[in-house]
């Protein structure tokens, strides 16, 4: 099978021909039809995450068809499943026991600790796979598996905010705008200065205002979610939220947050991060998405073009999400 492999820090990904992996007990092997490209994949490439083992196959927004089952798994061949970032939790640590499996001390993540979906086939623990909304084809469903799920969790952490600011209008925000509007919230979209395409996308999806990240919105925000990995956005967002408001950092990595006056935090404003997802998040969000219904804007690339897709994400020229599509089945 083909796989795009990160052999060393900094990359680029290298196309390899690998033997078909055999599913162990509890695992399924999926024939990958689509895998979305996430900002986290860039952090992996840039060696910005702790404990990366090389070589690793990135990709944690995987849609595929069951092709083989390991002992103890009974799924019909051809069943469509999605594989998200959360690939394994221990079930016994204090976090798992409290229902916070996203914080599990022994968690393993797809495309980071476990070979991911930038390949023709992938192995996954069946307990961490999900059925996907029928309404979306494989390529359009793939971004739900991280951009959608992490965005949904970040929205929950933002609390019952009526006026919500989103910093960084990429894959996650373009889904989250639709969720927030469905819930009756007003959305304010912040982009890099002059990024008209992203601002237009946000407004076409229902944002009532779009502007540059250093601008103050026309009204005070109840909460803001930062998806761009840019630490200077934290004080900027704090200044845009009202007293008692919350700033949620949605990414796994961010450049350093500059010092800022305590007065900007004063007034019971909060800053918090969102880490990973729980399976409950996935069940809830994947049930909600077709009711909205969430539509994803995607740019398709072939598997061999993974480096190009990553570079386009890095440069900020993507509208919505990049998705690697692996065969003709990916349209259904």
Q: Are 151 and 175 in contact (CB under 8 A)?
A: yes
Sign of CA dihedral 191, 50, 38, 152: negative
Q: How far is the CB of 260 from Zn ion (least distance, A)?
A: 28
Q: Work out which of 122, 146, 169, 309 binds Zn ion, going by CB under 5 A.
A: 146
CB of 34 within 8 A of CB of 325? yes
Q: Which stretch binds Zn ion (CB under 5 A): 50-58, 85-93, 129-137, 198-206?
A: 85-93
CB neighbourhood size of 219 (10 A):
14
Q: Which of 90, 230, 257, 288 binds Zn ion (CB under 5 A)?
A: 90
The single residue among 96, 205, 233, 289 that binds Zn ion, judged by CB under 5 A, is 96
Helices (H) and strands (E) in the chain, counts: 9, 16
Q: By rule CB under 5 A, what count of residues binds Zn ion?
A: 8
38 near Zn ion, judged by CB under 5 A: yes
Nearest CB to Zn ion, comparing residues 89 and 296: 89
CA nearest to 121, candidates 57, 41, 54: 57
Q: Which stretch binds Zn ion (CB under 5 A): 89-97, 115-123, 258-266, 321-329?
A: 89-97
In whole angstroms, the minimum distance from the beta carbon of 38 to Zn ion comes to: 3
Query: Do the beta carbons of residue 28 and residue 70 sit within 8 Å?
Result: yes
68/145 with CB nearer Zn ion: 145
User: Does residue 104 touch Zn ion according to CB under 5 A?
Assistant: yes
- Give ∠ CA 220-160-321 in degrees, rounded to 5: 85
Give, to the nearest 10 degrees, the angle between helix 147-157 and helix 279-288: 100
Q: Is 103 in the site for Zn ion (CB under 5 A)?
A: no
Rule CB under 5 A: which residues touch Zn ion?
38, 40, 89-90, 93, 96, 104, 146
């Amino acid at each position: 099978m083909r796989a795009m492999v990160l052999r060393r820090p900094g990359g680029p990904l290298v196309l390899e021909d690998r033997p078909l992996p055999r599913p162990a007990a509890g695992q399924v092997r999926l024939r990958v039809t689509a895998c979305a490209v996430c900002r986290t994949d860039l952090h992996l490439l840039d060696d910005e995450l702790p404990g990366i083992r090389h070589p690793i196959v990135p990709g944690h927004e995987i849609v595929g068809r069951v092709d083989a089952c390991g002992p103890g798994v009974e799924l019909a061949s051809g069943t469509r499943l999605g594989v998200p970032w959360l690939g394994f939790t221990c079930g016994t640590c204090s976090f798992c026991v409290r229902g916070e499996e996203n914080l599990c001390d022994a968690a393993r993540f797809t495309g980071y600790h476990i070979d991911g979906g930038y390949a023709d086939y992938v192995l996954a623990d069946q307990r961490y796979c999900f059925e996907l909304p029928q309404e979306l084809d494989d390529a359009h469903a793939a971004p739900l598996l991280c951009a959608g799920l992490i965005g949904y969790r970040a929205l929950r952490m933002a609390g019952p905010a009526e006026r919500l600011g989103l910093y960084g209008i990429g894959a996650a925000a373009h889904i989250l705008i639709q969720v927030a509007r469905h819930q009756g919230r007003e959305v304010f979209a912040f982009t890099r200065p002059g990024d008209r395409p992203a601002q237009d996308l946000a407004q076409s999806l229902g944002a009532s205002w779009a502007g540059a990240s250093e601008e103050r919105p026309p009204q005070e925000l109840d909460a803001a979610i930062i998806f761009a990995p840019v630490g200077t956005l934290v004080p900027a967002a704090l200044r845009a939220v009202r007293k008692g408001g919350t700033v949620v950092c949605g990414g796994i990595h961010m450049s350093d947050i500059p010092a800022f006056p305590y007065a900007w935090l004063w007034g019971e404003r909060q800053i918090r991060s969102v880490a990973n997802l729980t399976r409950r998040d996935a069940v809830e969000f994947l049930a909600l998405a077709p009711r909205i219904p969430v539509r994803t804007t995607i740019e398709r690339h072939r598997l061999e073009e993974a480096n190009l897709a990553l570079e386009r994400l890095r440069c900020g020229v993507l509208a919505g999400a990049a998705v690697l599509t692996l065969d003709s089945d990916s349209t259904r």
